[in-house]
Chains A and B, each alone.
Chain A
Amino acid sequence: MSAVLNEQAAPVPVLEGWFTLDQQRPHLLGTRCTACGTYYFPKLKGYCRNPDCNGESFEEVPLSRSGKLWSFTNASYQPPEPYVQVDKDAFVPFAIAAVELEKEKMIVLGQVVAGTGVESLRAGLTMELVLEPLADGKLTWKWKPVA
């Protein structure tokens, strides 16, 4: 009985190791070159891609939880697999945000939280990272406008 409860309670991420599972203050997990400071998301190991850097050592770092909305769109139709498929009539269009992280100087994509459509978005809005499940129950990161 308790094993079943635990199983239900344990959140399963859509991508293992891409973000923390802290429901209140989740972070995307990237790496940073210890030589030149360049951030990587998804995580890069091995060799730094900055053409002026010979760095081969990386540290795992949580990325900033908020940034400015660079641009946005939506998915009016259900994306193809491997996106989790639901019945065609049950599909609810969702918005997608490109958010600029100031400290990392990078733009990261992600869905926008359910219930927030493109009509309520404007470039420059502050967006913060939250976790929400996809249709298969697995958690993904999403961007949410800060009220």
Chain B
Amino acid sequence: MSTNRDIAILGVGMHPWGKWGKNFVEYGVKAARDALADSGVNWRDIQFVSGAATIRNGYPGQVAGATFAQALGWQGAQVNTSYAACASGSQALAAARSKILSGECEVALVIGSDTTPKGFLKPQPGDRPDDPDWVRFRLGITNPTYFALYARRRIEMYGDTLEDFAQVKIKNAQHGLSNVNARYRKVFNAADVAASPMVADPLRLMDICATSDGAAAIIVSSVEYARKIGKAKAPRIAAISTVTPTFASALVEMPDIATDSAVAVPAQSFRAALPRKAYEEAGIGPADVSVAEVYDLSTALELDWIEDLQLCARGDAARLLREGATRVGGRLPVNPSGGLACFGEAVPAQALAQVCELTWQLRGQAGERQVANAKVGITANQGLFGHGSSVIVKA
């Protein structure tokens, strides 16, 4: 699998992240129209609409592809909806790639959008001892518990410090400052982070990402179609990895109360498996990467991802951070968009937003947060139910 498996990114668009209190369809249509305008492709010419579903908006969210197609004006395109938690956007993108590479369509719209409730995500009501999500809340184990356990493990194993975690927040806040699509655009210093309340030791409120409204859309096509419309030099998608974990799990994953037992087969890291498959598919290695967008649900988790992406040896990510390598201007910028620290998570849109950022970076259109000479970008994210993804974009 190499260059002939690539597809072209013709256009990208986003609705700014925030808490806007509107219907998610509205955000999605705005993002789609921006992506169409960016691509120069007419909506009537889109042959496939691939929507990333959200479970929080009930009926229309679960038929996302059709919902967006109707809002944009039915024009008889093929349609599909994907649900894969935080990787929903990547799965929708993979569906579009399959259609394109199989010759079933030439150009597609991929779209994800979300409206989130206020406050922390909570379990459904009722007594459900067979539901692991109910069980863990019954025992007092919340979402930040898992991120905090991974963060503390870094402290215990590698000597990372709370100041390192704060530096991730400070770096990403600096990156997001000029990003018009970011929800939080504010400079943070170490004292600001240290003054925020401890939520789950060692993570403070400023170490943990919020949930947001937002939408992202991408127009993708065959390389041939891109050539035909004069966009032969458009960035390409070289890999979309959406593999499942491999038994036995090495980490306790939300919402579980225990890992698998590794008595019969060895424990394996899910996070590390996602980019490994992407590199293999693209025929591109970690040494080729010029920029990464990773899922910083917590500040410490960004450091885990850097190691999972093989951008440094296990345990070395904090050293990279301290050297300034991971900030824009450094040798390996991570989360130039500002990451989830500046966006907050809009689940079905987030994986696509990562690809939008890499597209702007590879085109040299990222303004103040531009990574110099960006040629290869990689994304990584992980969500519930064994879903995750890693996408490689190349110039």
Contacts and interface: CB of A to CB of B under 8 A. Distances in A.
A77 B198 CA distance: 9
B258 A50 contact: no
Given A70-B153, A79-B142, A98-B252, A37 B263 contact: yes
Contacts of B200: 73-76
Interface string B126-167: 010100101111111110110011111100110000000000
B198 A76 contact: yes
Interface string A101-135: 00011111111000000100011100000000010
Contacts of B123: 80-82
- Interface residues of A, dominant DSSP: loop
A42 B257 contact: yes
A96 interface: yes
A41 B148 CA distance: 22
A52 B149 contact: no
Interface residues of A, number: 46
A39 B152 contact: no
A20 interface: no
Given A71-B149, A82-B123, A37 B257 contact: no
A82 B120 contact: no
Contacts of A82: 123, 127, 134, 137-138
Contacts of A74: 148, 200-201
B262 interface: yes
B108 to A, nearest CB: 33
A50 B263 CA distance: 10
Given A53-B264, A106-B258, A123 B153 contact: yes
A12 interface: no
A122 B200 CA distance: 16
A76 B261 CA distance: 30
Contacts, number: 138
Interface in B187-241: 197-203
A109 B148 contact: no
Interface in A86-107: 94, 96, 98, 104-107
Contacts of A42: 132, 135, 257-258
**Taking each of A15, A37, A38, A124, which has the highest tally of chain B beta carbons within 10 Å of its own beta carbon?**
A38
B265 interface: yes
B152 A81 contact: no
B34 to A, nearest CB: 37
Contacts of A37: 263-264
A120 to B, nearest CB: 12
B265 A50 contact: yes
A40 B141 contact: no
A108 B141 CA distance: 12
B142 to A, nearest CB: 5
Contacts of B248: 38, 50, 105-106
Closest 3 CB pairs of A and B: A73-B148, A123-B156, A39-B261
Given A74-B201, A75-B145, A98-B149, 13 more contacts: A38-B248, A70-B153, A76-B198, A76-B201, A77-B199, A80-B123, A82-B137, A94-B140, A96-B145, A111-B139, A118-B152, A134-B140, A140-B139
Interface of A: 14-16, 33, 36-42, 49-53, 70-77, 79-83, 94, 96, 98, 104-111, 118, 122-124, 134, 140
